[in-house]
Structure 1
Amino acid sequence: MYRLYRSCIRSLQMPPKAQAAGKGRGPAKRKLAEEFPPGEVLTDTSKKSWKLGDPIGQGGFGLLYLANENSSKTVGADAPYVIKVEPSDNGPLFSELKFYMRAAKPDLIQSWMTSHKMKYLGVPKYWGSGLHEKGGKRYRFMVMDRFGTDLQKKFEETGRRFPRKLVLQLGLRLLDILEYIHEHEYVHADIKASNLLLSHNNPNQVYLVDYGLAYRYAPEGVLKEYKEDPKRCHDGTIEFTSIDAHKGVSPCRRSDLEILGYCMVQWLCSKLPWEDKLQDPLYVRDSKLQCRDNVSEFMSKCFSSQDKPDELQKFMEEVKTLSYTDKPAYQKLRSILEAGLKSIGTKDDDKLEFSSAVSSNGAGPSSSAKKTSKRKKVVDYKEESDDEVVGSPAKKRKSPKKKGKNPLFLLSHAPVLFSG
């Protein structure tokens, strides 16, 4: 399925691969998108017109274009929007569109920011969607904000380590984002550096994109019950996915926070202890269970004694106390990370500084710092789901091992705009 920028671009760069034998079928073959000429005008469901610029990504399912509101002017390289277009018969965008229409409308985000006295919130805004006919064919499209580079690229550029201050700041930004989407009945379920994009105009703002696995855990306020499903085991990006996901349980709020904990540890020490065996999901699951059972021992595997970040251990200890349906104490978690900033003599100054890795970060296994681990990504394809899953676990595939270039965009992977 197509997923917000990151997944879109990934699919725009390489065709999807089927998962290993015995793990299910790959996604059905879909029609190729035809390229529209610059200047093509699309009208969304609210009758607003949008003009396409040059395409900035192409793949088996669709195209991603620079875009702007319709006017007599040509859409230039400084366009503030992007539009994802694909043949309507393909249908992988419907579920994710549900998330954007429910939780990412600009006025909804602005209202939250105002009531919580926030300068910005790193949730991409939904600007419109619709159907477009050309040459007797129908196409679906969605209008999104344009973004800059992703943090995975920054992570690799800095020797696979981020400064401790930056890691804690990113944790604080993500707590803001997660509290917002959780309060709007969804969990993300796929937090990682490649799904975090810098603003196109402000390098100190970061956005969580790719809601391809987003799950509506509390439709109309009614919490889903804990239920293990062997067919759904290990969904997500395996090095970060939650223990619940490893057991085939639908993601919940604690799942997002558990994933965030793994991300922060990796960003600080360069490599999680189980990254050498990502092709063995049971080993990864058991390693995470051991981590949950003894967080202190886990931290000792990742950091030297003098560099162990106490705040990350406290963060993970707090998350492990949550039951499946518990509402997290977001402010308590923020306080833990803020205390970490204070302990290193700094504070959150709203500036994200990506500097080269230094020993004071708390180095993990040094021999692995420059070693890029293989990633196994399970993406599920399902059309409409009773569980309101953006990418529900029906059919799975591996993500390409080869990294593609991140074009000059946006929501790193175009969202699954619709699904048939």
Structure 2
Amino acid sequence: MPKAKAEASTAARKPRAPKGPKLPDPFTNGTILQDLRKKQWKLGNEVGKGGFGLIYLASEDTASTVAPTAEHVIKIEPLSNGPLFCELHFYQRVSKPEMIDDWVKSKKMKYLGVPKYLAHGTHKRGSETFRFMVMPRFGSDLQKIFEGCGKKFAKETVLALGLRMVDALEYLHENGYVHADIKASNMLLGFNNKQELQDQVYLVDYGLALKYSPDGSHKVYKEDPRKAHDGTIEFTSTDAHKGVAPSRRGDLEILGFCMLQWLCGKLPWEDKLLDKNYVADSKFKYMKNIPSLMKACFPSGDSQDEILKFLTLVSKLGYEDKPDYNKYKALFRDGLKRLGIKDEWKLNLPTSGPPYKKGTKRKSEATVGESSSPKKSALEKVRGTPKASAASGSRQSTPKPAARSRQGTPQKGQGRGRPRKSPVNGRAVKSPLTMKSPAKAQAVKTPVKSPSKGSLTKPTSTRRKVKRSRAPKVDACVQTSPH
């Protein structure tokens, strides 16, 4: 095939990128919006931005400045956009406060992890009209906490989160909706009385939510390649990979993949997320053999019976089957009991750790020897005095370690004050750092016998390698500040 024709053919096969929703220009702090019930809301600082539009802090008190601890937010988008329109319909039909309160009371629950709808309306700015929705304010998302703590949650945390998410999904499913995009970044901590609630988690973002039985009967199973791989690729269901409309079993399968990642840190198909067919084929293979999936996620043989049994039960569900939510919750509760956890409502999220103050460098980020303080840093106490070159910022090549002496390991002082060769005569000279410790410098200079010839050799300069601990990219493990 000629080159020009081949390029034209490739261009023809390349899918056209979807046109994203239009993001509005920012709104001025203090802008007043009026909902359909004539109630006014005052906008504060922008706290979020998504494909749909912008999110602002908001307050019912229009006479005062909106505080950073405000307990409401407003989502706002141009009227011509669609995502917030779809989400708004869901909230109006399923998330009315009285509906959620009645459900919580009938099920004897402490809370339900589904946000409550508060108000909505339209706002005109110049010649453009905007749609907005008022919602409760939430705290940090679980993805931030997950990444900030080394991408691993304790088993009791995963089981507790599983319970709360099954509660939320049961409520959605009983009201005719599926979520279709369950993931840690769509799970937010509660917020009340100016602080985050570490033991409350809410499932948010209903932009992909839809009715699985719009006319009173379940949608028919039908594969559509044009809709294949919808959702978040690493978690989306096997049905979604085939282009099948979301279902209740799909929601539970997605939750199972999330819980699995929280336990093991990385799913087996995450190495090739750009190859959607590879991801899909991996899920098809593993969902037919759940034990092989567990072995791939836990090669050391860690026992994760609850997740294994949960995914096995989900894999046996038919497309239109109603899940047995009580069985799943009993499975997770039994797991908590075996771990000695009595309160299933406590999430035990990893929020404790050494304080990390703004404006200071973490251990892995700090330049060794950078501090001019006379006191030794924590790094110096553990790793020894830093190199002089590190303090000056100059580059220095790393010398090769000399042959080990008969004593096996270098003397105690050798790792701290290493002799350097003079650029003039090649003789060993004392490092300025060794002058502070004569005893250790002497230990470095003491000649040792070569194991082969028995003759005296020059002082060794064996370098002790120190494995540095890598600090987390995000400090959510230390502090989960509200958005």
TM-score category of the 2 structures, normalised to the smaller one: 0.7 to 0.9
Please tell me the residue identity of whatever aligns with 1:353.
Answer: N
- 3-state SS of the aligned residue for 2:113? coil
Query: How far is 1:49 from its partner?
Result: 1.8
Q: Which residue of 2 aligns with 1:214?
A: 209
Whole-angstrom distance in 2 between the partners of 1:340 and 1:261: 15
Contact 2:176 2:213 in 1 (8 A): yes
State whether structure 2 residue 259 is matched by structure 1 residue 233: no
Greater CA deviation, 220-229 or 162-171? 220-229
Quick one: percent identity of the two aligned structures?
A: 54
Q: Which residue of 1 aligns with 2:132?
A: 141
- 3-state SS of the aligned residue for 2:333? helix
Query: How far is 1:58 from its partner?
Result: 5.2
Please tell me the residue identity of whatever aligns with 1:90.
Answer: N
Please tell me the residue identity of whatever aligns with 1:300.
Answer: K
State whether structure 2 residue 162 is matched by structure 1 residue 167: no
Whole-angstrom distance in 2 between the partners of 1:262 and 1:281: 16
Query: How far is 1:283 from its partner?
Result: 1.4
Query: How far is 1:405 from its partner?
Result: 11
Greater CA deviation, 329-338 or 301-310? 301-310
Q: 1:347 to 1:221 in 2, by over 3 A?
A: farther
Which of 304, 308, 311 does residue 309 from structure 1 map onto?
304
State whether structure 2 residue 349 is matched by structure 1 residue 354: yes
- 3-state SS of the aligned residue for 2:57? strand
Which of 142, 167, 175 does residue 184 from structure 1 map onto?
175
Contact 1:338 1:347 in 2 (8 A): no
Q: Which residue of 1 aligns with 2:458?
A: none
Deviant stretches of 4+, over 6 Å: 403-408
Which runs of 5 or more residues in structure 2 are unaligned? 1-12, 353-472
Q: Deviations over 1:222-258 (max 9, x none)?
A: 2111111110001111111100000000010000110
State whether structure 2 residue 321 is matched by structure 1 residue 326: yes
Q: 1:50 to 1:404 in 2, by over 3 A?
A: farther
Please tell me the residue identity of whatever aligns with 2:237.
Answer: S
Q: Which residue of 1 aligns with 2:105?
A: 114
Q: CA RMSD in A?
A: 2.5
Which of 16, 19, 22 does residue 24 from structure 1 map onto?
16
Q: Which residue of 2 aligns with 1:291?
A: 286
Larger of the two Rg values belongs to structure: 2
Whole-angstrom distance in 1 between the partners of 2:310 and 2:343: 17
Which of 50, 55, 80 does residue 89 from structure 1 map onto?
80
Whole-angstrom distance in 2 between the partners of 1:341 and 1:295: 22
Please tell me the residue identity of whatever aligns with 1:146.
Answer: R
State whether structure 2 residue 253 is matched by structure 1 residue 261: no
Contact 2:147 2:474 in 1 (8 A): no
Please tell me the residue identity of whatever aligns with 2:149.
Answer: T
State whether structure 2 residue 92 is matched by structure 1 residue 101: yes
Query: How far is 1:220 from its partner?
Result: 4.8
Q: Deviations over 1:102-133 (max 9, x none)?
A: 11111111111111111101111111111112
Q: 1:59 to 1:344 in 2, by over 3 A?
A: closer
Whole-angstrom distance in 1 between the partners of 2:65 and 2:237: 46
Please tell me the residue identity of whatever aligns with 2:36.
Answer: T
Q: 1:47 to 1:175 in 2, by over 3 A?
A: same
Which runs of 5 or more residues in structure 1 are unaligned? 1-20, 358-402, 411-420
Which of 65, 73, 92 does residue 74 from structure 1 map onto?
65
Whole-angstrom distance in 1 between the partners of 2:340 and 2:97: 36
Query: How far is 1:43 from its partner?
Result: 1.3
Q: 1:79 to 1:141 in 2, by over 3 A?
A: same
Q: Deviations over 1:360-404 (max 9, x none)?
A: xxxxxxxxxxxxxxxxxxxxxxxxxxxxxxxxxxxxxxxxxxx99
